[in-house]
């Protein structure tokens, strides 16, 4: 169906693809795996015409083709769903799907026939999307279905999906995989760019492994396993489980008593939550996304208006509900947010500038108290130490944060918060969109912070992650704590039942 032959692509001094050969058979689900920066997305963007290769050939259906733009790719039956969705939020599903391929004439847009065609495709592939719904009202999982429908509406025979499960809940992932299997049954060919090995083994027929811009392995999925794929991806043995000693638990650092967060309509997004986190332990919170985890972490970080909060947050014996985010950091609370772009980084600022956010007004960063003058030498030293200790790549503090891959952005944030020597660390989705080598590194850092006496509250949509990292596990359902389990002995079925039913 698709073949890349000897594809080479440079971006300045960076060799992104180095004589890459990839063969994708028709009617299969083909996974392309590798760490962030391995060249996976670049190779597929070349296949889609988003980039042009410096050298090499693209073959579609066995014939050499010139693909110089996405328009050329679409004409050949190739569609691509990007990691960050390309949707206009205040337009409807149908309007988004037909954008650029509008039915009817320039003077008369025939959205009625388009909606009928979209409904037919939606039923055929069981995508369950209302063509007339505004995109801004859709969940992330539903938005992804709209992206799939955009490609199918343009008669795509081959779908390239870039990190398609990075923002989906476990239930949405299951539903999404069922859709992909139906597509394969109906003769479609699917390429998944990912680094989630459990998903690769669950959904794909064949796997191409990339490292440092090169293809380093091609295997049938049935003939491989997670350890072998990880070794090819990283170039060394990778610890796929969290290896941690028994916790040395101390006194309660953070106490949450009957905490609620009230929405504008009077409903409680978080409802009467009570628990404590002690020094030297990781308390995990598991739940289907949207059940109050975000409100809990943002309330504890001081990012929710005090008028919306009920109950008590106790730190060092004092109720800090009326204390803002800046003072909470002074008191010893660090925060790794779930949305690194919206809450964690200023993307147009350099790595050096991002490394001092939250401490920019303190000596030695501030030459005078209050941040009147900044000490450039101190900023560079701090940034370089974080970059070195947390293996942030490229190692260039002058780069803007947006130039980094998601995994390296995350390591920068974790390094910045780690440097605060916090008493309490609030961490949400620490490895979302992060490759396997960086996941192992981030897990080690969290465990070492725990072992240094920090009290860590962890929220993760990855059940495997939250059960293996946590010393105690709380389940949240519809804004309430549905139960506490021992992650060493609780089954995934037991946890899943609490997550979905609350009992």
For the entire predicted model, the pTM comes to 0.73
* Domain boundaries 2-234, CATH class: alpha beta
pLDDT for 22 equals: 97
Say which range, 77-86, 199-208, 380-389, has the weakest mean pLDDT: 77-86
| Conformation bin of residue 426: beta by default, left when phi > 0, alpha when psi is -120 to 50 | beta
Phi, psi (degrees; rounded to nearest 5) at 192: -110, 125
Q: Measured between alpha carbons, how far is 435 from 196 in angstroms, rounded to an integer?
A: 8
Is 319's pLDDT higher than 70?
yes
DSSP string, 166-212: TT--HHHHHHHHHHHHHHHHTT-EEEEEE--HHHHHHH-SEEEEEET
- pLDDT per residue over 99-112, tens digit each? 877 776 656 677 78
CB 475 within 8 A of CB 482: yes
d(CA 345, CA 44): 28
The verdict on whether omega for the bond into residue 394 sits within 30 degrees of 0, i.e. cis, is yes
Spatial CB neighbours of 8, under 8 Å, sequence gap ≥ 6: 15, 17, 18, 19, 20, 53, 54, 55, 56
Q: Is the pLDDT of residue 315 over 90?
A: yes
Q: Residue 276 pLDDT > 80, yes or no? A: yes
Contact 289, 269 (CB under 8 A): no
What residue ranges do the domains of the chain occupy?
Answer: 2-234, 240-332+422-503
CA distance 111 to 118: 10
- Residue 422's pLDDT band (boundaries 50, 70, 90)? very high
**How close are the terminal C-alpha atoms of the chain, in Å?**
48
Query: Does 467 have pLDDT greater than 60?
Result: yes
Distance separating alpha carbons of residues 32 and 18, to the nearest angstrom: 15
Q: How far apart are alpha carbons 68 and 145 in whole angstroms?
A: 27
Mean pLDDT of the chain, nearest integer: 90
Q: Please check whether the domain covering 240-332+422-503 is classified as CATH 3.40.50.300.
A: yes
Which has the higher per-residue pLDDT, 84 or 265? 265
Neighbours of 216 (CB within 10 A): 15
Cα–Cα distance for residue pair 27/57, rounded to 1 Å: 22
Q: What DSSP line would sit under 87-132, residue for residue?
A: --TTSBHHHHHHTTS-SB-SS-B-HHHHHHHHHHHHHHTT----TT
pLDDT classification of 323: cutoffs 50, 70, 90: very high
pLDDT attached to residue 106: 57
pLDDT tier for residue 131 given thresholds of 50, 70 and 90: confident
Say how far apart CA 383 and CA 408 lie, in whole Å. Answer: 13
- Average pLDDT value for residue range 429-433: 84
pLDDT at 188 over 90: yes
Total length of the chain: 503
pLDDT at position 450: 97
3-state secondary structure 173-185: HHHHHHHHHHHHH
Contact yes or no for 277/316 (Cβ under 8 A) = no
Contacts of 266 (CB under 8 A, 6+ apart): none
Q: Which residues have CB under 8 Å from 110's CB, separation 6+?
A: 103, 104
Burial class (CB in 10 A: 0-12, 13-18, 19+), 209: buried
E-strand ranges in 300-443 read 309-315, 318-319, 333-336, 424-428
Tens-place pLDDT, residues 348-407: 999 999 999 988 888 888 877 655 688 999 999 999 999 999 989 888 999 999 988 778
- C-alpha 373/C-alpha 376 separation (Å) is 9
Q: Say yes or no: do domains 2-234 and 240-332+422-503 share a fold.
A: yes
In DSSP terms, 79 is beta-bridged to 159
Q: Hey, what long-range contacts does 212-219 have (CB within 8 A, 24 or more apart)?
A: 212/18, 212/38, 212/39, 213/15, 213/16, 213/17, 213/18, 213/20, 213/38, 213/39, 214/18, 214/19, 214/20, 214/39, 215/20, 215/21, 215/22, 218/23
Mean pLDDT, rounded, for 194-208: 91
């Amino acid at each position: 169906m698709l073949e890349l032959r000897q594809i080479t692509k440079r971006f300045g001094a960076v060799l992104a693809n180095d004589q890459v050969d990839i063969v994708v058979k028709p009617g299969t689900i083909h996974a392309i795996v590798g760490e962030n920066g391995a060249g996976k997305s670049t190779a597929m963007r070349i296949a889609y015409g988003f980039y042009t290769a410096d050298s090499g050939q693209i073959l579609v259906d066995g014939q050499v083709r010139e693909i110089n733009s996405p328009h050329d790719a679409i004409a050949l039956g190739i569609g691509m769903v990007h990691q960050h969705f390309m949707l206009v939020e205040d337009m409807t599903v149908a309007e988004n799907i037909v954008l650029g391929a509008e039915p009817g004439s320039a003077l008369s847009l025939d959205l009625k026939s388009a909606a009928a065609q979209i409904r037919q495709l939606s039923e055929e592939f069981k995508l369950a999307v209302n063509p007339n719904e505004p995109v801004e009202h859709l969940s992330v999982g539903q938005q992804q279905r709209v992206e799939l429908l955009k490609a199918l509406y343009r008669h795509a025979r081959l779908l390239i999906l870039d990190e398609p499960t990075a923002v989906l809940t476990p239930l949405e992932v299951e539903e999404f995989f069922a859709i992909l299997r139906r597509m394969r049954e109906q003769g479609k060919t699917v390429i998944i760019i990912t680094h989630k090995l459990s998903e690769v083994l669950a959904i794909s027929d064949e796997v191409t492994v990339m490292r440092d811009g090169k293809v380093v392995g091609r295997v049938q999925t049935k003939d491989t396993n997670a350890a072998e794929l990880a070794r090819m991806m990283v170039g060394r043995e990778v610890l796929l489980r969290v290896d941690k000693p028994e916790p040395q638990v101390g006194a309660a650092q953070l106490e949450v008593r009957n905490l609620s967060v009230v929405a504008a309509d009077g409903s409680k997004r978080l409802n009467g939550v009570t628990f404590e986190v002690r020094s030297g332990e990781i308390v995990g919170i598991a739940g289907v996304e949207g059940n109050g985890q975000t409100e809990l972490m943002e309330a504890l970080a001081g990012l929710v208006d005090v008028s919306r909060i009920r109950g008590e947050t106790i730190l060092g014996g004092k109720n800090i509900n009326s204390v803002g985010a800046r003072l909470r950091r002074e008191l010893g609370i660090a925060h790794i947010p779930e949305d690194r772009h919206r809450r964690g980084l200023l993307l147009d600022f350099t790595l050096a500038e991002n490394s001092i956010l939250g401490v920019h007004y303190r000596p030695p960063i501030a030459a005078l108290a209050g941040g009147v003058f900044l000490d450039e030498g101190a900023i560079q030293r701090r940034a370089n130490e974080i970059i070195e200790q947390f293996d942030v790549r490229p190692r260039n503090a002058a780069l803007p944060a947006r130039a980094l891959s998601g995994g390296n952005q995350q390591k920068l944030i974790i390094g910045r918060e780690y440097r605060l020597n916090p008493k309490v660390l609030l961490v949400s989705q620490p490895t979302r969109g992060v490759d396997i080598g960086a996941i192992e590194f981030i897990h080690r850092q969290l465990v070492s912070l725990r072992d240094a006496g920090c009290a860590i509250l962890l929220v993760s949509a990855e059940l495997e992650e939250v059960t293996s990292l946590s010393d105690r596990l709380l389940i949240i359902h519809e804004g309430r704590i549905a139960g506490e389990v021992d992650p060493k002995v609780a089954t995934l079925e037991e946890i899943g039942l609490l997550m979905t039913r609350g009992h």
